[in-house]
Amino acid sequence: MKSAVVLFAVIGISLGAFVEVPLTKIMTLRERLIRQGKWQEYSEQQKAARSTGSQTVKDYNDVAYVGTVTLGTPAQSFDVILDTGSANLWVVDSTCNTDACNGNAARTKKKYNAGSSSTYSNDGRDWSIQYGTGSASGKLAVDKLCMAGLCFNTQIFGRASNIAAFFKTQPVDGILGLGWPALAVDHVQPPFQNLMASLDAPLFTVWLDVKGPVNGAIGGLFTYGALDTKNCQMNTVKYATLTSQTYWQFAITGVSVGSYSSNSVQSVISDTGTSFIGGPGGQIKSIGDALSATYNSQYGLYLVPCNSKNLPALSFTIDTSGSTSFPIPASEYVVDVRYWRIYCRSINYWVVLNLGELGGLADHPN
């Protein structure tokens, strides 16, 4: 699959640059744990944690793409989730020596070392952020941030001295949020807003390319300050008004697949921090039923046989100063998971907790 999203921040002044950050495709946590036969145990642990009253903001069970940024002078490199569904930047700090911060034998975590950076300064504030998969916390710091050569000298970010066990097996060193300032914890200015004045235009383009079961391959591109004319068809670009300047949130006016159709107006978000379509449980069930899919509670997924033929397109009608239908063919929303040692999977049954009817419209690996 090749999918693209153009996201505009309609503030700032263009001055003269654009940069490209390649994305690396990684195996999602859900994939890894299903292959290891540990997903059900993990899922039950997550449900138990949620029942304690901690706020579920979002989770990263299905993250599939990461990019590289640097912090400090000289530059220290980090692989981070480029996440339009959050707004803070944080990386693992050198003061953290827990198992989660150290990573595992397959990949040890890269850690930020304040003492090695001549441009570091201490913000002094404590910092903490909660996700559905756990939390990260530590101290806020200020240092030079660079993405593909474009830099901002005084970016505030989190030095994570404590991170959830979930992150141990994820091949990432932190998260770079690309949401709006209103979404940011501690009212920290997000990186993109700081870099925007240096860009040709106040926008970024996300192009995601499917790589199947390949892990660690180049799987897409973030282009900051310009449209991605190499990978995106410019004659198909449409514009949707944001319904909230928190997430990249807009309205859809319809969803349909096979015999199922809904014309209700719903708010959705374009979320690069997950690789699946999410939505209200009842609606996802109706879509699964229309595809004659079977819900598997062990994996939390709707499944279709691998020999399924002629499945209908799944269409979303987006409010683009009019109504534009965006059909997604079955080849794009059915994921072949035979290499997980189970069988083909169709739509992920992911109910976004505490967000009502706010779902995610993101990449859908083939």
Q: Which residues are catalytic?
A: 83, 271
Angle (CA) 140-273-184 rounded to 5° is: 35
**Phi and psi torsions of 112, nearest 5°:** -75, 130
First-to-final CA distance of the chain:
6
**Cα gap 72→77, rounded to integer Å:** 9
DSSP letter, residue 96: -
Asked if residue 302 lies in contact with residue 278, where contact means CB atoms within 8 angstroms, the answer is no
Question: Quick one: tokens of 97?
Answer: 């020596």
Asked if residue 147 lies in contact with residue 69, where contact means CB atoms within 8 angstroms, the answer is yes
Neighbouring CB atoms inside 10 A of 171's CB total: 18
Asked if residue 333 lies in contact with residue 320, where contact means CB atoms within 8 angstroms, the answer is no
Angle (CA) 313-315-316 rounded to 5° is: 160
Q: Is 260 helix (H, G, I), strand (E, B) or coil?
A: strand
Q: Which of 337, 352, 179, 333 is nearest to 255 (CA)?
A: 333
Pairing of strands 103-104, 107-108: antiparallel
Buried b (16+ CB within 10 A) or exposed e, 272-308: bbbbbbbbbeebbbbbbbbbebeeeeebbbbbbeeee
Asked if residue 360 lies in contact with residue 63, where contact means CB atoms within 8 angstroms, the answer is no
